[in-house]
Structure 1
C-alpha cells in the first residue's frame, strides 16, 4: 500500500508531499526510485516498532530500495529550501519513536507541520523566487536569467547550491529536466520537445540519471520504478 498526502499551502515551499509505504504482502519487495530534485526523510518501522531514521540529500542517480516484509516506511519528500529552513534546525527526529502504536500518515504530517511552523521560518525572497522559477521551467532556464529575475548574482546562486545542497545548479537543472520527462515517457512519448538538444542527448541524460533507457522505463518490468507505478502524474 502506497499513499501520499499533500502539505498545507503554507508549507508547500518546504514539502512536496508526505507518504506512507506499507509492505503487508508477507514477502520482501524490491523497487528503484528515480531522481526527482527532492530531499527525503524516511522513518522505518518493522512490526510496529521504530527501526531507523534516514535523511537523504538530492539524488542524481537511481537507487534501489529493499522493502522487507511487514515493514512500514513513512517519509517526507522535501523541497530544497527545507534543507536550510527545516532539516538544519530539525527537532522532529527525536519524536518519531512515539509512532510505535499509531502509525498514521495524518498524525505524522501534523507533527512535522507543527514543528516547521514553530520555527517560523522567514524565507529569503531571492531563494523562494529562485526555486519557483526552476520548478516553473523544469530546470530549462539559463543561470543569467535566474540571476536577473532574482536579483542575485550567478556566482552567489552557484555558491548557494554547492554549500546547501552539495551539487551545482547545472546538475540540479538536469535532474529537473529528466524528472519532467518522466510524465511524457509514462505516456509513451519518447521524443520530448524541450530541455534536450536532440534525441541522443535525451537518451544520454536519462540513462545517466536513471541507469536505463526511456524505452525500459516505459516498459517498467515487474513495476520496478516507483515513479512509474502510481496512477497519478509523476
Structure 2
C-alpha cells in the first residue's frame, strides 16, 4: 500500500511486476499527508502479504473488480472482504492482506494528519479496516468511479489530491502541542514517554488523550512503532546490522530489538530482509 522510494514507474524483476507512481503534496496538504500513490499493476511473490505498521492512518482505493481481503492471522482461511475504498486505522501489528489486487491508489497520512478528513476520533478505528463509504457516504462511491474512469496513474494521484484539498477547504495545521510531541518522539535520544511530558509541559493524562484522539495510539505504542520504523530504515539501507541497529535506536540489547521487531513486523529482521517487497511497506508471507 505504500511506496516510499518510487518517484516514477518502477519495473521490478519478472517474479514481481510493480509500477508505482508516488507524489508528495504541496501546502497545505504536505503537513498532513506523507504521500499519495498509485499502483498500476502488481504481481506478488506470495498469496498474502503483511503491511507493516507506520503509526498513522492510510486510505486505499481498490479499482479492481474483486474485494480486498483482510485476514486476522497468517493461518486464517476465512477473510473479511471489503469492496471499494478503505481506511486503515493506526496499528501496532501488521495488516495481513490477500495480494490478488488490480490497480490501486491510496494516501499515506502523517501521524495525526487524517483527522481533518474523517470526522471521528482516531482511536475509533485503531487497528481496524473501515469502508470509506461508512465515513464519506455516497461521495466515496463517486470518487472511486471517477478514479476508475481515469486511466493514467499520475492523473489518479492528481484527482485524489484534488479531492483531499476540497475536503480540507481551508488551511489547517496540527495542534501545536501535538506537533511538538510528535517531533519529540522522533528523537533518537529519547529515553521515555515521561521525557516527552517534560519537553512539552503536557501531563501524562493530557498527552494520552491527545494521542488517542488525534493519532489513534497511546504515546507509548506510538513511540514503539516510530522507533521500529527508524530501525527498519537502517536495515533497508544496509547501514547497520544486529546489535548495531539495537544500540543506535535505543533498544536495551539485540534480544530486545528482535522481540520488538517480531511483535511489530511478524518476523525477525533476517526474515524481513529475505521477504520484503522492495520499495513498499509490504512483506511476502510464504506459507
TM over 0.5: yes
Measured against aligned partners, the alpha-carbon deviations of 1:70-106 in whole angstroms (never above 9, x if no partner) come to x111111112322432222776635413223115212
Shift of 1:27: 10
Query: Residue deviations 1:157-205, cap 9 Å, x none?
Result: 0122234444321111001111111122221622312221100000000
Kept after mapping to 2: 8 A contact 1:45/1:73: yes
* 8 Å Cα contact 2:50-2:282 kept in structure 1: no
1:110 aligns with 2:128: no
Gaps of at least 5 residues in structure 1 are 230-234
Structure 1 residues 29, 153: CA separation in 2 closer, same or farther (over 3 Å shift)? same
State which of 145, 170, 176 in structure 1 corresponds to 2:220.
170
Matches within 5 A, 1:188-227: 189-191=241-243, 192=245, 193-220=248-275, 223=277, 226-227=280-281
Residues 23 and 138 of structure 1: CA distance in aligned 2, closer, same or farther (over 3 Å): farther
Query: After TM superposition, what 4+ stretches of structure 1 lie above 4 angstroms from structure 2?
Result: 24-29, 89-92
TM-score normalised by structure 2 residue count: 0.67
Classify 1:140/1:65 alpha carbon distance in 2 versus 1 (closer, same or farther; 3 Å): farther
Structure 2 distance, partners of 1:57, 1:33, is 12
Q: CA RMSD in A?
A: 3.0
- Alpha-carbon offset, residue 228 of structure 1: 7.0
**What's the secondary structure of 2:250's corresponding residue?**
coil
Where does 1:2-151 land on structure 2 (aligned, <5 Å)? 2-23=20-41, 30-46=48-64, 51-68=83-100, 71-88=102-119, 93=140, 95-96=142-143, 97-103=145-151, 104-116=156-168, 118-135=169-186, 137=187, 140-151=190-201
- State which drifts further: 17-26 or 176-185: 17-26
- SS, match of residue 226 in structure 1: coil
Structure 1 residues 164 and 24 mapped into 2: Cα distance closer, same or farther (>3 Å)?
closer
Deviations, residues 8-51 of structure 1 (Å, cap 9, x unaligned): 1432321111111222659996432111112111111116xxx5
Q: List per-residue Cα deviations over 1:134-177 (Å, max 9, x = no partner).
A: 23x16945333322332322220012223444432111100111
My pick for the range that moved more, 162-171 or 174-183, is: 162-171
CA contact (8 A) 1:30 1:224 kept: no
Per the TM alignment, residue 119 of structure 1 is displaced from its structure 2 partner at its CA by 4.1
Residue ranges of structure 2 left out of the alignment (5+ in a row):
1-18, 66-82, 121-134
The alignment of Structure 1 onto Structure 2 pairs a total of residues equal to: 223
